[in-house]
Amino acid sequence: MPLFRATIKSTKVVNGVRLEKGMSVDFPSSYGSPLSMNGGKEVIEAFRRKYGVDIKKANAVSSSYIEVVKIN
């Protein structure tokens, strides 16, 4: 299963959720585009596990706010 890295592009505070530029998570995904597939669930869960933040609540589940690259 491929490994991806999702990184926050810019600092953002929305609905009480603070996302800092450079926050990143690594996660496996069976999807070729994990941010747009299944509502970005794998990316959302990875940020929740590592940082305890809800990127969905911050309306940041978008390529405008998050860069996702395949690393393996």
pLDDT tens for 27-68 read 999 888 899 889 999 999 999 999 999 999 999 999 999 999
Rounded to a whole number of angstroms, the distance between the first and last alpha carbons of the chain is: 9
User: Beta-carbon neighbour count of residue 7 at 10 Å?
Assistant: 14
CA–CA gap between residue 27 and residue 70 (Å, rounded):
10
In 1-72, the DSSP E strands lie at: 3-8, 12-14, 17-19, 24-28, 66-70
Residue 24: pLDDT over 90: yes
Q: Range of 20's domain?
A: 3-70
Would you place residue 13 in the very low, low, confident or very high pLDDT band (cuts 50, 70, 90)?
very high
| Greater pLDDT, 31 or 16 | 16
Structural domain total, the chain: 1
- Its pTM stands at 0.92
Cα–Cα distance for residue pair 6/40, rounded to 1 Å: 11
